[in-house]
Amino acid sequence: MMRLACCTALLFVLRLLVGLPWYQVLPAILIFYLGSGGWNFLDIVAKTIGRDLHAAYVLLRVKLNVKRHVREKNTIPKIFAETVQRHGDKTALIFEGTGERWTFRQLDEYSNRVANLLLDRGFKEGDVVALFMENRSQYVGLWLGMAKIGVEAALINFNLRLEALVHCVTISNAKAVVFGSELAEAVSEVHSSMRKAVLMFCSGDYDPKQVPQGTECLETLLTGASSRLPKRPQRCFTDRLFYIYTSGTTGMPKAAIVVHSRYYRMAALVYYGFRMTSDDVLYDCLPLYHSAGNIVGVGQCLIHGMTVVIRKKFSASRFWDDCVKYNCTIVQYIGEICRYLLNQPVRDTERQHRVRMALGNGLRQSIWEEFMKRFNIPQIAEFYGATECNCSLGNFGNKVGACGFNSQILPFIYPIRLVRVDEETMELIRGPDGVCIPCKPGEPGQLVGKIIQNDPLRRFDGYVNQSATSKKIANSVFKKGDSAYLSGAEGKAGMAAIADPSQSTDLETFFKDMEKVLPPYARPVFLRFLPEVNKTGTFKFQKTELRRDGFNPTAVSDRLFFLDSSRGRYVQLDEELYRSIVSGKHKL
C-alpha cells in the first residue's frame, strides 16, 4: 500500500508540473524506483513526501500565476492595482520613524503623482532614475511610481560614498537622482563628478544651502502633480523593473537587472512556500535598496495585500518593542541580526509579541534553537538565494539549521543541483563527458540553476555589464549544451593581505581613508602585513595559502590586526583576542 500510495502521488505531481500523460510518466517512476534502491527509496519517500508535495504545490501555484501574468502582459504596477481594489482602505505601509500610516489607496495616489511628475518633466519608458535615500514609505512610492510609466529605478546603497557612488549612478545611465535630505552631504561631495545633464531632486527636509546647485524640492513638485493613474506604457511581465546592486566587496558594485517576473517570483515563492496570509503584519528593518527588504518584504504588501512595517534602520534594542506596538506576526532578519538580538538584555517585550515566523537567511545553526526558544518563535523561514539567481531554496519544513532542500524523489521538477568544485580554485569539476559531477548527499559543492530563458521562473537576466553576466554562466552543467547560473559568494569582507616590507603603514590614516570610500561591509575585518605578496607562475596573486592560514596568530608569523568596530580602529591581534573571536564573545 505504501509503495502504491507514493507512486500514485508522484504520478499526480508529474502530470501537473511536467504536463506528460500517465503512460509516459509511469515508466520513468518505475525505472527511477528500481534504480534507486527499492525499499530505501520508499523510506526516503515516506520521510520527504509531505515536504516535497507542498513544494510541488507552491511551484505549480506560482507557475500558473506567472502564466496568467505573461498572457495578460501584467507588470508589478498592474498587480498592485488589483491589490488596491481588494484592500483599498487597509493599511499598506507603516513607517516606524514617524508612525505614519499609508493605506493602499494612499500609496497608489502617491505613486501616481510621482509618475505624472516625471511624465511632465519629459521622462519616458526605458529611462533610468537613481534612488539614493534611507528607508521610508516614500521610497516604495517613488520606484513604484516610476514603474507605472516604464521608468526604471537604480536602487543605490545609501552607505556608498565618493567613487563608488559615482560609479553606481554612471553605470545605470541615470537621467536623474532622487536623494534623501539626510544624504545631501554625500551627494554634494560627488556632484561635480556626475554628468552635467543629470537632474537632482531632494526628498525630505529641503535646505537649498545644503544641496547641490539646481536641486529641486521633490515634495513641493509632487504637491502640484496629478494623482490620477497615468497612461500605462507598453511593458510586459519580463521587462525591466529596476536595478539592485551587488555588495561590491571584491570590486565596484554590479547593477543586477530585476524584471517584473523576477520580483513576483521572489515574493510569491516565499509567500506560498511559508504559508503566509494577507492578514499577516510583516516587520521590515532591512534596507530597501536590496532584495530582502524591497522584494521579499515589501513585495508581500504590493502583491498580496499584507501590511508592512518599515524601519529606518535595524535596532536591536527597539526590535521587540516595535513588534508589540504594531502587532507584527512575521519579522525579517538577515546575517547576524538574530545574534545581535540574543546579545541584548532579557526584556518582557521579547515574549509579549504575536510573531509566529522569522523570515530571512544567514541564521547560524549554533544559535538557531536558542533564538526560537528565547523569543518564542515557532517557525524559522530560512531561505537561500540572491537577487539575480534562478536557484532559490526554502526551508519549508522548519528543519533546524537548513536553508532549503532539493527533492530526491522529484529532482527533475526543480532543476537545481549541487556540483563538485575544486576547493582551491573553485572551478567546476567535470566528468569524462564534459558535464559537471553532482555532489553526493552531505558533500559540499556549488549550487547551480539550469537557465531556461523563455521560462520566467528559470530565466537569468544578469547585470547591466554584459561581461559580468557572462562570468555567472557555465555551459554543459546538467547535460551537454545547456547553460546554468553559478551561485558564487559575496558578502562581508574578510581579510586583506598587504605588502609592507618597511612596516611603515599608518593604521589610523589607513582606517580614515577607508571610511571615506568603502561602506562598512566592504572594510576588511582582518589585516595581514607581508614582506611581499606571493604570485603564481602566471603572475596571479596566490590567495589559496592565505585562506588556508586563516587569522590564528600562533600559526601565522606575519603581523595581524583586527578591526574593532566599537573603537573604530585596527588593533593588534593576539592570542587572547583570537580566542575571544573564535568563541563568539567578541563581535566581528
Provide the pLDDT confidence category of residue 5 given band limits of 50, 70 and 90.
Answer: low
With 50 as the cut, is the pLDDT of residue 569 above it?
Answer: yes
Mean pLDDT, rounded, for 528-552: 68
Q: Which residue has the higher pLDDT, 309 or 35?
A: 309
pLDDT score at 181? 95
With 80 as the cut, is the pLDDT of residue 539 above it?
Answer: no
Which one of 156-170, 236-250, 379-393 scores highest in mean pLDDT?
A: 156-170
For residues 284 and 298, what is the distance between their CA atoms, to the nearest angstrom?
8
Mean pLDDT, rounded, for 217-238: 94
pLDDT score at 107? 98
Q: Which residue has the higher pLDDT, 544 or 120?
A: 120
pLDDT score at 145? 98
For residues 292 and 135, what is the distance between their CA atoms, to the nearest angstrom?
13
User: What DSSP designation does 297 have?
Assistant: I
Of 138-152, 531-545, 568-582, the least confident: 531-545
Burial class (CB in 10 A: 0-12, 13-18, 19+), 577: middle
Are 261 and 70 in contact by the 8 Å Cβ rule? The answer is: yes
pLDDT score at 83? 98
pLDDT score at 13? 56
Q: Which residue has the higher pLDDT, 581 or 253?
A: 253
Q: Which residue has the higher pLDDT, 479 or 154?
A: 154
With 50 as the cut, is the pLDDT of residue 134 above it?
Answer: yes
User: What DSSP designation does 193 have?
Assistant: G
How far is C-alpha 355 from the geometric centre of its chain's CA atoms? 22
With 60 as the cut, is the pLDDT of residue 14 above it?
Answer: no
| Percent above pLDDT 90 for the chain | 48
Provide the pLDDT confidence category of residue 487 given band limits of 50, 70 and 90.
Answer: confident
Of 37-41, 525-529, 558-562, the least confident: 37-41
Residues 6+ apart with CB under 8 A from 430: 436, 437, 476
For residues 226 and 112, what is the distance between their CA atoms, to the nearest angstrom?
7
Q: Kindly report the number of other CB atoms within 10 A of residue 529's CB atom.
A: 17
Which one of 41-45, 87-91, 334-338, 580-584 scores highest in mean pLDDT?
A: 87-91
SS3 labels along 267-294: HHHHHHHCCCCCCCEEEECCCCCCHHHH
Which H or E element spans position 47?
A: helix 39-71
For residues 71 and 265, what is the distance between their CA atoms, to the nearest angstrom?
16
Q: Which residue has the higher pLDDT, 91 or 416?
A: 91
Of 29-33, 93-97, 461-465, 576-580, the least confident: 29-33
For residues 131 and 123, what is the distance between their CA atoms, to the nearest angstrom?
15
Residues 6+ apart with CB under 8 A from 149: 115, 118, 119, 123, 124, 125, 230, 232, 233
In tens, the pLDDT along 313-364 reads 999 999 999 999 999 999 999 888 998 999 999 999 999 999 999 999 989 8
pLDDT score at 84? 97
pLDDT score at 495? 82
Concatenating the DSSP letter of every residue in 5-23 gives: HHHHHHHHHHHHHH---HH
Cell 529606518 -> residue: 312
Of 188-202, 368-382, 393-407, the least confident: 393-407
Q: Which residue has the higher pLDDT, 159 or 7?
A: 159
Are 256 and 471 in contact by the 8 Å Cβ rule? The answer is: no
Residues 6+ apart with CB under 8 A from 142: 111, 114, 131, 153, 178, 203
Dihedral, CA of residue 46, residue 48, residue 50 and residue 51, to nearest 10: 180
Mean pLDDT, rounded, for 473-488: 83
In tens, the pLDDT along 490-530 reads 556 688 888 888 888 888 888 888 777 777 767 888 888 88
pLDDT score at 275? 96
In tens, the pLDDT along 53-77 reads 888 888 889 999 999 999 999 999 9
pLDDT score at 23? 56
Which long-range CB contacts under 8 A does 397-400 form with residues at least 24 apart? 397/51, 400/365, 400/368, 400/369
In tens, the pLDDT along 269-307 reads 999 999 999 999 999 999 999 999 999 999 999 999 999
With 90 as the cut, is the pLDDT of residue 401 above it?
Answer: no
In tens, the pLDDT along 422-470 reads 876 778 889 889 888 888 877 888 888 888 888 887 788 888 888 788 8
Burial class (CB in 10 A: 0-12, 13-18, 19+), 115: buried
Read off the pTM: 0.83
pLDDT score at 324? 96
Which one of 96-105, 188-197, 399-408, 488-497 scores highest in mean pLDDT?
A: 96-105
With 90 as the cut, is the pLDDT of residue 154 above it?
Answer: yes
With 90 as the cut, is the pLDDT of residue 94 above it?
Answer: yes
Provide the pLDDT confidence category of residue 538 given band limits of 50, 70 and 90.
Answer: very low
